């Protein structure tokens, strides 16, 4: 198979990049990475050199480009035969919550931008933001109670693409002090202690770039 290269944005701010990167790491797919700092004069040109959509993340495998975080996760699942729960019902729910994240939670994404290294930020919490937090708490509770008995992840012992899709949400909740249920707090602790996530955070802390518009709270 051709060498895989994943182009990502800043570790501190690029939530879509984190999703693809952490899925590849957890599924054991070897890849090289290229970091393209966002919000710089040359960002657009650099991204265009890798990505037909003009966005990151993008995975290159020889002449093949796979753009969009969820498509990259799906490609990794096909390469490895891992990434989704084996039982059909659990798999359908995992795909539903991954898709809900990918296409939704606009208020959360706008008002609480991912800022991986930031702590103790506080913002106003309008009703639409509270509703997004509550919905995510409900999703995590539902998955943990229905499918999580065998281990610490949303669907039990195996890390799934659903966990990857919500990893940046855990970082946001941690940064802005979201009030969540005990089950959600416990799940957040699992995610925050995860080795690949720790590695990502270490990289985020070492980055020199600051994007003022993403510094909230
Ligand atoms: N739906 C896409 C969204 C990708 C996206 O919006 N990426 C942002 C960075 S997180 C980007 O590339 N922005 C381009 C820029 O800032 O110039 C995905 O899931 O990968």
What is the per-residue pLDDT across 30-60, written as a single tens digit (0 to 9) for each? 999 999 999 999 999 999 999 999 999 999 9
User: 118: domain range?
Assistant: 88-200
pLDDT of residue 40: 97
How many structural domains comprise the chain? Answer: 2
pLDDT of residue 82: 98
Reported confidence tier of residue 2, pLDDT bands at 50, 70, 90: confident
What digits encode the pLDDT tens for the residues 74-131?
Answer: 999 999 999 999 999 999 999 999 999 999 999 999 999 999 999 999 999 999 999 9
CA of 176 to the centre of ligand 1 (A): 22
Do 93 and 194 fall within a single domain?
yes
Question: Does 55 contact ligand 1 (Cβ within 6 A)?
Answer: yes
State mean pLDDT over 140-149: 98
Do 68 and 115 fall within a single domain?
no
State mean pLDDT over 176-196: 98
pLDDT of residue 113: 98
| CA distances, 125 to each of 105, 112, 129, 132, 169 (Å) | 14, 10, 6, 10, 16
Q: How far apart are CA 107 and CA 119, in angstroms?
A: 20
- Ligand 1 atom closest to Cα of residue 39: 16
Residue 1 has pLDDT above 90, yes or no: no
Do 67 and 24 fall within a single domain?
yes
pLDDT averaged over every residue in the chain: 98
Rg (CA), the chain: 17
State mean pLDDT over 168-187: 98
Do 93 and 192 fall within a single domain?
yes
- CA atoms lying within 13 Å on the CB side of residue 120: 0
Question: Does 74 contact ligand 1 (Cβ within 6 A)?
Answer: no
pLDDT of residue 33: 98
Residue ending a domain, choose from 39, 61, 81: 81
CA of 47 to the centre of ligand 1 (A): 10
């Amino acid at each position: 198979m051709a060498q895989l290269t994943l182009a990502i944005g800043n570790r501190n701010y690029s939530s879509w990049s984190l999703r693809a990167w952490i899925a590849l790491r957890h599924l054991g797919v070897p890849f090289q990475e290229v970091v393209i700092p966002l919000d710089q004069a040359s960002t657009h040109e650099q991204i265009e050199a890798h990505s037909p959509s003009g966005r990151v993340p993008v995975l290159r495998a020889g002449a093949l480009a796979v753009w969009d975080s969820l498509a990259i996760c799906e490609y990794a699942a096909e390469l490895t035969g891992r990434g989704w729960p084996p039982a059909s019902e659990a798999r359908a729910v995992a795909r539903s919550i991954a898709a809900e994240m990918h296409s939704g939670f606009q208020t959360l994404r706008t008002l609480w931008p991912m800022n991986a290294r930031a702590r103790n930020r506080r913002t106003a919490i309008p009703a639409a933001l509270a509703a997004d937090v509550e919905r995510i708490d409900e999703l995590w509770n539902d998955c943990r109670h229905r499918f999580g008995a065998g281990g610490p992840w949303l669907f039990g012992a195996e890390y799934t693409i659903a966990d990857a899709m919500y990893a940046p949400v855990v970082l946001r909740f941690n940064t802005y002090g979201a009030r969540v249920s005990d089950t959600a707090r416990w799940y957040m602790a699992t995610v925050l202690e995860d080795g690949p996530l720790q590695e990502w955070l270490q990289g985020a802390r070492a980055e020199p770039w600051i994007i003022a518009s993403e510094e909230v709270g």
